[in-house]
Amino acid sequence: MEVLERVGKETMELLIEETGLQLEKNSEGDVDHPHIDEEQLEEDVTFDRCFYIYGGPDQLEELEALSSHYAVLFNRRKAKLLSEQKQFYEAKLKEIQELFNLERQLEGNGQDSAGKGKEVEAVDSNGDIEIRKLCDSSVTKAASMAAGFTSALGGLAANEIIQKTTDRLESIHSEGVHRLSELCCLAVSQLLLLGKSVISKSSKANGEEADEDIKIEWPEDLVSKANIIRSKAQFMSSDVIKVSSSFITGISDIIEAYIANQLPEQKTVQTKANEISNQLRSDQTDAIGKIQDALHHLTFVVLSTSMPTA
């Protein structure tokens, strides 16, 4: 038993050293999320590195492969269509490309098209629930890391206050980066599963065998399908912004507590806090950008699976 305990401890230490994170479960035991030691250095944690650890690049690569495959199918099937049908699907391609642009505001929030898929949108998959839980726990974590910091500085010497504030800033930055990257990865994974679900429905319609990771009764109208996927991606992006904002707010609260002590070197610490906040905003942009990339990759998946096969 002593040997096993020692080997297990050494293995975990190696894992933490290689990946830069260690996992813990929340009080409800629902979602595993990264725990960051306050002694972990800020420069060891970047969004791209954490996104890689969570497997995000592999999921984007799979989405890109699906996009390329169904783009070829789209062109093959379009070549067999009559002129009017070709024009119809070319127009639909442009419509879905615009619909899958998250920066574009939809007229009437897409209610006319999305209405056909209203019942489908109301059903949350396990992935949707997992994303929501991670978002909520991340917001709570950011608040808890900043809560009570004013009292934590009480009675400390100036150099201790500076060190404790610096450590807390690095800690909340590391936690924020891990949370954002994990949330982004979950979002990309969910979009991949939605794409596979659309493909599965098409395969069943054509009498082929299909695996289903997400069971959704998709509407026949291809724009309605696109609206459902767009709506989910929009919520995912909103969750990313919510998490990023919560950690930036936490940083502001920490600095506010620090400034109240009126130390001579407060500008240096404030500068560090501003840099961390700006980095989190940049990470937020990167995360939404990856969700946008994943969404774009589903354009030809939705379009091609809605075309006649012969």
Q: Give the per-residue pLDDT at 124.
A: 67
170-184, 208-222, 234-248: segment of lowest average pLDDT: 208-222
Residue 13 CB partners (closer than 8 Å, separation 6+)? none
Query: In sequence order, what DSSP letters do the residues of the chain get, joined into one string?
Result: -HHHHHHHHHHHHHHHHHHS-EEEE-TTS--EEEE--TTS-GGG--HHHHHHHTTHHHHHHHHHHHHHHHHHHHHHHHHTS-HHHHHHHHHHHHHHHHHT-TTSPPGGGGHHHHGGGHHHHTPPPHHHHHHHHHHHHHHHHHHHHHTTHHHHTTT--HHHHHHHHHHHHHHHHHHHHHHHHHHHHHHHHHHHHHHHHHHHHHHHHTT-----SS-----S-HHHHHHHHHHHHHHHHHHHHHHHHHHHHHHHHHHHHHHTT--TTHHHHHHHHHHHHHHHHHHHHHHHHHHHHHHHTTHHHHHHTTS---
**By the 8 A CB rule, do 147 and 172 touch?**
no
Average pLDDT of 164-188? 96
93: pLDDT strictly greater than 70? yes
Distance CA 22, CA 226 (A): 38
- Closest CA relative to residue 50, chosen from 238, 185, 233, 250: 185
- Closest CA relative to residue 188, chosen from 273, 248, 127: 127
Question: Global pTM?
Answer: 0.80
Q: What percent of the chain has pLDDT over 70?
A: 75
Average pLDDT of 34-43? 44
Q: What is the pLDDT of residues 271-283, one digit of tens each?
A: 999 999 999 999 9
Distance CA 202, CA 200 (A): 5
Q: Give the per-residue pLDDT at 106.
A: 58
Q: How confident is the model at residue 113 (pLDDT cuts 50, 70, 90)?
A: very low
150: pLDDT strictly greater than 50? yes
Place of tokens 């919520």: 235
**How much is the mean pLDDT over the chain?**
82
Q: What is the pLDDT of residues 229-238, one digit of tens each?
A: 999 999 999 9
21: pLDDT strictly greater than 80? no
Q: 297 burial class (0-12, 13-18, 19+ CB within 10 angstroms)?
A: buried
